[in-house]
Structure 1
Amino acid sequence: MTALFKGGIAATAIMLATMAGAQESTNRVDVKTDWNVFAEPPAKPTECWGVAIPKETVNTDSDGRIKSVKRGEILLFVTYRADGTAGEVSFTGGYPFAENSFVSLTIGDTKFDLFTEGEWAWPASSGDDSKILAAMKRGANAVLTGRSSRGTVTKDTFSLFGFTAAADSAENFCKG
């Protein structure tokens, strides 16, 4: 993932504020069950994305005991661009991930490792993005498990209901 892309996603996350609080954003163009679709800029979008918030979040210490922690926004994205870039998966856990760690993404019986940098995680290649997208279209839930720089293990469960329609919508908005 390029620094420019990560910066764009970070700015996007800030713009979204908090979807959980039902705060409206002027660039939301569609809603598909548990997924929202955004386009930037809205009139002639160059970047479009589907995004979801977790249905369940569990934070544990190194001994597996549930603990209360403060986290920022927790979001799962699939991004498309008008330049033809299609279906990039990314995740922000709302905290800095442990250095040199991975986030585990599990959909059904299939597991993927996402690389981390700061508060962001993403697949290693566009080929991995394609495999993850195919699994997301078939699955019911995506479970992302990461480890914070403080050692907290987080497990975030996202619904995939509406994912296929949201991904298609985001892709179509960026095609013009």
Structure 2
Amino acid sequence: MAGALLAMVASGATAQEESTNQVAAKTAWSVFEDADPKECWAVSSPTETVNTKDGRVVAVRRGDILLMTFFRPGAGVQGQITFTGGYPFAGGSTVNINIGGSEFEMFTEGEWAWPASAADDAKIIAAMKRGADAVLTARSSRGTITKDTFSLLGYTAALEEAENRCK
């Protein structure tokens, strides 16, 4: 199961990096759609990023930092949360999501993180619809702690747009 999810996430990342098929922008969130395979996603970049090591703020080089919700009807994916921090996560580490005081956990593989189940996806999506910000805290393979804050302004509209495009 994790391999299939990783394959979906990895192909979605490639689509995000290469896709010019942006179909909508909802404040902090954008919606993309690709045809082969049919997939739609809402995506945002952080509004704030803080990197620390040994308790001190440090400057680090990171790739794209993205929080996404995917829909891929052909694979039965209806709202999968994915996150890439722009670096390889520490082996065996998890990513913590805090939305308005509610805490969630995602497991990691390489540069990607996602919830353990569709039920966890649904809980996070519900919190994101209600929240103002999502704060994702993770640890890199080099021991840097990253804290990325994403605005949830426009999330519900972007999510609904992506879902409607991939029914």
Deviations 1:44-80 (A, max 9, x none): 871000000000000000x210000000000000011
Alignment match, 2:8: 5
Indicate the structure with greater strand content. 2
Alignment match, 2:161: 169
Structure 1 stretch displaced more, 117-126 or 44-53: 44-53
Structure 1 stretch displaced more, 78-87 or 125-134: 78-87
Which ranges of 4 or more aligned residues in structure 1 deviate by more than 4 Å? none
The reply on whether 1:85 has 2:77 as its aligned counterpart is: yes
2:95 and 2:108 in contact (8 A); partners too: yes
Query: Residue 128 of structure 1: SS of its match in structure 2?
Result: helix
Counterpart of 2:10 in structure 1: which amino acid?
G
Alignment match, 1:138: 130
Superposition RMSD in Å = 1.4
Corresponding residue to 1:39 among 20, 33, 36:
33
TM-score (norm 2): 0.93
Structure 2: which 5+ runs fail to align? none
Alignment match, 2:110: 118
Deviations 1:105-159 (A, max 9, x none): 0001100010000000000000000000000000000000000000000000000
Identity %: 56
Structure 1 stretch displaced more, 75-84 or 89-98: 75-84
TM-score (norm 1): 0.89
Structure 1 stretch displaced more, 139-148 or 79-88: 79-88
Alpha-carbon separation, structure 2, partners of 1:147 and 1:38: 28
Alpha-carbon separation, structure 1, partners of 2:16 and 2:37: 17
Query: Residue 10 of structure 2: SS of its match in structure 1?
Result: helix
Counterpart of 2:41 in structure 1: which amino acid?
W
Query: Residue 56 of structure 2: SS of its match in structure 1?
Result: coil
Deviation at 1:82, TM superposition (A): 2.7
Alpha-carbon separation, structure 2, partners of 1:143 and 1:12: 24
